[in-house]
Amino acid sequence: MSPIQHMPEYDVIVVGAGNAALAAAVSARENGADKVLVLEKADEDMRGGNTHWSGGLLRFAFDSVKDLDRLVPDAEDEYPGFRAGIEPYPKAQFWSDLRRVTDGRTDESLAKILIENSYHTVCWMHDVGRVPMEPAMSLGGMRVGNVIKWPRGAIIRAVHEGVGLSKNWFETAANHGVEIRYQSGAAALIQDRSGRVVGVKVRGPTGIDEMTSKATVLASGGFEASMQMRAQYLGAPWDHAKVRGTRHNQGDGLRMALDIGALPWGQWSGCHSTPIAAEWAQFADRELTDKSNRLSYPYGVMVNKRGLRFVDEGEDQQFYTYAKYGGEILRQPGSVAFQIFDQKVMHLLEPRYEYTKPFEAASLDNLIDQLDIDDKAQAKKTLAAFNAAASSGEGFDPSRKDGLSTRGLKPEKSNWAMKLDEPPFVCYPVTGGITFTFGGLKINDRAQVIGTDWRPIGGLYTCGEMVGGLFHYNYPGGTGLVSGATFGRIAGRYAAKEKGGEKRTEFV
């Protein structure tokens, strides 16, 4: 046997083409990598992963309303009252929100990196990523007199939401000379004798190929689209959940990394899942993207097929409950629930409710009679009991937790609990749709993948949904994209500096 030495074909190979992957690829180019390859398993028409489907909402910390000018300089002209209703969102508040919704389990070191970098990451997406931004009016803005009230921290989104974000990232990657190969799914990681990752095995349009690199960044999403992995890690009834985003996130990157001894990290039994329109298909429509969400339940009541309420619809504002209530709905009989509203609140429903034709009736009893509820008598009793325990609406304020609570119900509705008394009454059937999974890989502050021996695996980085530890049980809306770009940027920066893979020795 004689040793031959050859240079890797690429400086950095990035697996996946969503927000995290393209942030990593652009960052790698910015930091000196000459040859950067992005492998996208989907064909060009289906490229971009969940990022394409996303609402493009970006949660980040900022100390002064002025900090937003850099991102949305024309916002006040376009939305008079934009600035007056914004409260700053200091890092301590982001941290407190993340800790609260994850029940104190978020990985502190990752959370710190995310929060510390969040504002600068979003500026980088804007300035270097060339992602134009706008106020997320239809998602969270609420006009009260001359002022628009905003949920804290979740105010800005990409123009044209995920579709725009994804398109801009692809354009920027092309402008930075990043090569993209479609229909090219990474199937396995290649290691040298030292255990260092030196490339990937790829299933492309013409067959299996091996591609070599100094560093590899895995950014191929979670396992939300894999029925088998959902059954394995999340258990029933998640194997039957409808998928809110791409069908391509089958857990490939996670499997490849675990195969070579990467350390699983975070909540592998947990996922982000939201109330979505019951009529949507197994995989979400690419044109309608995230129009499936039905998140205005804080202003109404939800009952299940047994005619019972099962969550506190008014526990908190939607961005702090929506990611866990999808799972609650999925666990109800038949995995469906019925959101019921009266005319007092119809103007508060998110515009995307318009994509469903609701059931409507002049009385609550007649409404229930039309629904696919097994115990209709119980449903009528539940609504009567709710109305007896709810307020007439004095002090109702949708822009904050108004403390308007029911008295003596199980579960109570803690805020926005107004009687359903203004016909016609309206119902939207919903189910729980899975967005992304929380289980991932352990990384360090350079986004290097850590092995089960607690040491970094040479040449291997990860970012985006594949990072484990940040989210448990629940998630503050708008954090996924900022986390993906933050760790993607870091992964690209350090991957670009990899020297160890410069020469690979093979014995032939």
Ligand X SMILES: Cc1cc2nc3c(=O)[nH]c(=O)nc-3n(C[C@H](O)[C@H](O)[C@H](O)COP(=O)(O)OP(=O)(O)OC[C@H]3O[C@@H](n4cnc5c(N)ncnc54)[C@H](O)[C@@H]3O)c2cc1C
Residue window 182-201: x/- pattern of binding to ligand X, with contact defined by CB under 6 A:
---xx---------------
- Taking CB under 6 A as the rule, does residue 125 contact ligand X? no
- Taking CB under 6 A as the rule, does residue 464 contact ligand X? yes
Distance CA 233, CA 272 (A): 14
Kind and range of the H or E element at 437? Answer: strand 425-437
Give how many residues touch ligand X by CB under 6 A: 41
Distance CA 48, CA 50 (A): 7
Exposure string for 78-109, b = 16+ CB within 10 A, e = fewer: ebebbbebbeebbbeebbebbeebbeebbbee
The only residue of 39, 72, 131, 257 in contact with ligand X, by rule CB under 6 A = 39
The minimum distance between CB 505 and ligand X, in angstroms, equals: 27
Nearest C-alpha neighbor of 498 from the set 212, 305, 279, 289: 212
Part of the chain binding ligand X (CB under 6 A), chosen from 29-37, 125-133, 217-225, 301-309: 217-225
> Cis omega (within 30 of 0) on the bond before 90?
no
- Taking CB under 6 A as the rule, does residue 49 contact ligand X? yes
Residues 466-495 that bind ligand X (CB under 6 A): 478-481, 484
Amino acid making up residue 348: L
Distance CA 85, CA 78 (A): 15
The minimum distance between CB 402 and ligand X, in angstroms, equals: 25
Part of the chain binding ligand X (CB under 6 A), chosen from 13-21, 173-181, 259-267, 394-402: 13-21
Instruction: State how beta strands 147-149 and 57-58 pair.
Output: unpaired
- Taking CB under 6 A as the rule, does residue 245 contact ligand X? yes
- Taking CB under 6 A as the rule, does residue 57 contact ligand X? yes
Rounded (10°) CA dihedral 446, 119, 471, 226: -80
Part of the chain binding ligand X (CB under 6 A), chosen from 28-36, 123-131, 213-221, 319-327: 213-221
Radius of gyration of the chain (CA): 24
The only residue of 117, 121, 168, 220 in contact with ligand X, by rule CB under 6 A = 220
Angle in degrees, 0-180, between the axes of helices 91-101 and 108-127, rounded to the nearest 10: 120
Distance CA 164, CA 54 (A): 10
Which CB atom, from 54 or from 486, has the smaller least distance to ligand X? 54
Part of the chain binding ligand X (CB under 6 A), chosen from 17-25, 363-371, 393-401, 446-454: 17-25
The only residue of 10, 11, 13, 16 in contact with ligand X, by rule CB under 6 A = 16
Residue window 19-38: x/- pattern of binding to ligand X, with contact defined by CB under 6 A:
xxx-----------------
The minimum distance between CB 279 and ligand X, in angstroms, equals: 16
Which CB atom, from 312 or from 465, has the smaller least distance to ligand X? 465
The minimum distance between CB 199 and ligand X, in angstroms, equals: 13
In 10 A of CB 484, how many CB atoms?
Answer: 29
The minimum distance between CB 380 and ligand X, in angstroms, equals: 34
Which CB atom, from 17 or from 330, has the smaller least distance to ligand X? 17
Part of the chain binding ligand X (CB under 6 A), chosen from 209-217, 240-248, 317-325, 365-373: 240-248
Distance CA 216, CA 196 (A): 10
Which CB atom, from 29 or from 248, has the smaller least distance to ligand X? 248
- Taking CB under 6 A as the rule, does residue 432 contact ligand X? no
Residue window 277-306: x/- pattern of binding to ligand X, with contact defined by CB under 6 A:
-------------x----------------
Nearest C-alpha neighbor of 250 from the set 205, 206, 203, 215: 203
Which CB atom, from 39 or from 125, has the smaller least distance to ligand X? 39
Distance CA 8, CA 215 (A): 9
> Cis omega (within 30 of 0) on the bond before 275?
no
- Taking CB under 6 A as the rule, does residue 241 contact ligand X? no
Distance CA 152, CA 259 (A): 41
- Taking CB under 6 A as the rule, does residue 271 contact ligand X? no
Distance CA 141, CA 72 (A): 15
- Stated length of the chain: 508
Distance CA 433, CA 281 (A): 10
The minimum distance between CB 271 and ligand X, in angstroms, equals: 11
The only residue of 8, 11, 12, 15 in contact with ligand X, by rule CB under 6 A = 15
Distance CA 204, CA 357 (A): 43
Residues making contact with ligand X (CB under 6 A):
15-21, 39-42, 48-51, 53-57, 185-186, 219-221, 244-246, 248-249, 252, 290, 435-436, 464-465, 478-481, 484
